[in-house]
Amino acid sequence: MLNELSDALKLFLDSQGVEFGVFDTPIPGMMIGHAEAQKLPDYAIYRPTLGVVVQGAKQVWLGEQVLDYHEGEALLVSVSLLAKGVITQASAEKPFLGVTIELDTAVLREVGASLAAPPEPAGASLSVHALGPEALDCLVRLARLLNTPDAMPVLYPGMLRELSYWLLKGETGADLWALTKPEGMSDRIENALALLRTDFAAPILVEDLAATAGMGLTSFHRHFKALTRLTPIQYQKQLRLVEARKILDAGTDNVTGAAFAVGYESAAQFSRDYSRFYGLPPKRDTLARRLGIASASAA
C-alpha cells in the first residue's frame, strides 16, 4: 500500500512540474515533502498533524525526547509544539517522501462522539505509530484525489471523516482522544498556544495565558510544561527565535531589524539568545545556511 501512496504523491508532484522541496496541495492542511539528501536539524512549529513517512526516515526532538520514524510510520502531534526535526534517510537513488495532514479537531470530535473512549487515554503530545491498513488505504485514496480535482470537494469531507475514524480506532487513538474533548486539557493549552503564536512579538503575561486557558496559574504552568517541555516564557522566546531565523533566511541582513520585528528590545540580547539556541551568531548562522543551500543546489 505504501507503493500506491508513493505513486499517487509522485504523480501529483509531476503534474505540478516540481521535484524536491515541501509543497502545499489543494487539499486543506495537506503537504508533501520530497528530498534527495539528508537535511540539517531545524526547529519548526508542529501543529496538530499526522506526518507519514512514505519513503526514507525522519527524526524529531522535543526537549530530551527523541523519536525516529520510518516507512509506514507516522508522527502524531496532538498540540502545537516547538520541536526540532531532520530527515535522516534520503538519497538520489531513494529520495525521502512524506505527507503531512493537519488534523481537524471539529471532525475528530464529531467522529469521537459516536465512539467509546479508550480504557486509558494517553494524551501524549508527540508520538510515533505504525499505521494500520485501513488508515493507509484512506491516505492512498486521499492522495489520488489530488489528481482528480473535480472530485475533491465532493469526496474529501467524507474521506477526512473516515481517516479520523481509523485514527481514533487504531494505535493512534489513545493519543488522539484528548483532541476530541472540548475544554479538555489539550484544548485549553492549545488556546494559550494560539495566543502566543498570534502575538509572539508582544509582551504577554503568563497570567493572561492562564486566563485564556481558563486555568489557575500553578495548574497552567504544570500542564503547559508537561505538553510542550517548555515554560510559557521559554516557548515565547524560542518562537521569536524561529520567526527571526525565517526573516533572516528571507534575505535581510539587518539583525537589529529582525530582533525588533520579533519583539526584542535589545539587539545584543537577541544575538546572545540566538547564539545559545542555534549555536552561531545570527549573521554567521545565516551565511552558513546560505552556503549550505548553495552547495546542495550545486551538487
**What CATH code is carried by the domain that includes residue 209?**
1.10.10.60
Residue 202 neighbours by CB under 8 Å, 6+ apart: 263
Q: What is the number of structural domains in the chain?
A: 2
Residues 51, 140 within the same domain: yes
Which of 180, 205, 227 corresponds to the end of one domain?
Answer: 180
Domain that residue 246 falls in: 185-298
Q: Each residue of 105-154: pLDDT tens digit? A: 889 989 988 887 765 656 678 899 999 999 999 999 999 999 998 999 99
Distance CA 12, CA 238 (A): 35
Q: Each residue of 235-273: pLDDT tens digit? A: 999 999 999 999 998 877 789 999 999 999 999 999 999
Dihedral of alpha carbons 202, 206, 212, 213, sign:
positive
Residue 112 neighbours by CB under 8 Å, 6+ apart: 164, 168, 177, 180
Residues 203, 173 within the same domain: no
Q: Would you mind telling me the total number of residues written for the chain in this entry?
A: 299
Distance CA 291, CA 265 (A): 30
The pLDDT of residue 59 is above 90: yes
Distance CA 156, CA 142 (A): 7
Residues 101, 121 within the same domain: yes
Residues 106, 39 within the same domain: yes
Residues 26, 169 within the same domain: yes
pTM above threshold 0.85: no
Of 154, 155, 163, which is closest to residue 108 (Cα–Cα)? 163
Q: Write the CATH number for 120.
A: 2.60.120.10
Give the chain's mean pLDDT.
88
Residues 38, 111 within the same domain: yes
Residues 9, 53 within the same domain: yes
Which of 155, 180, 205 corresponds to the end of one domain?
Answer: 180
| Cβ neighbours of 266 (radius 10 Å) | 12
